[in-house]
Amino acid sequence: MSKIFDLPYYAVIFKSKRSPGDNGYSETAQTMVTEAAKQDGFLGADSVRDEDGIGITVSYWASLESIEKWKMNALHMHAKSLGKQKWYEEYTIRICKVEYDNSFPF
């Protein structure tokens, strides 16, 4: 069953197009999820990627302040730099306030 978080909360939507090859991406991506989970206000994340390298990761946060702290996290900042250098051809980040949340189990 999916977790429904206390409302309101925030979603950070990260849509990306990967560059060819792994180049350390998979290991760093797992490290980022582990590190984000240690941050105050982190609620969870969902991620998908298709065969063409288009991916969407949505992370969920209790507040805009918690998102800002994650944005300034040293490991996250380093990963963002590597992403621009070698992992992504392009990406878009959107932050949304979630005011309604409903779930139906699979």
Residue 1's pLDDT band, with cuts at 50, 70 and 90, is: very low
Structure tokens at 13: 């939507």
Q: What local confidence, expressed as pLDDT, does residue 106 receive?
A: 61
Three-state secondary-structure class, residue 106? coil
Dihedral pair phi/psi, residue 98, rounded to 5° = -95, 120
**pLDDT tens-digit profile of 21-77?**
999 999 999 999 999 999 999 999 999 999 999 999 999 999 999 999 999 999 999
Structure tokens at 63: 């507040």
List domains and CATH numbers for the chain. 13-98 (3.30.70.100)
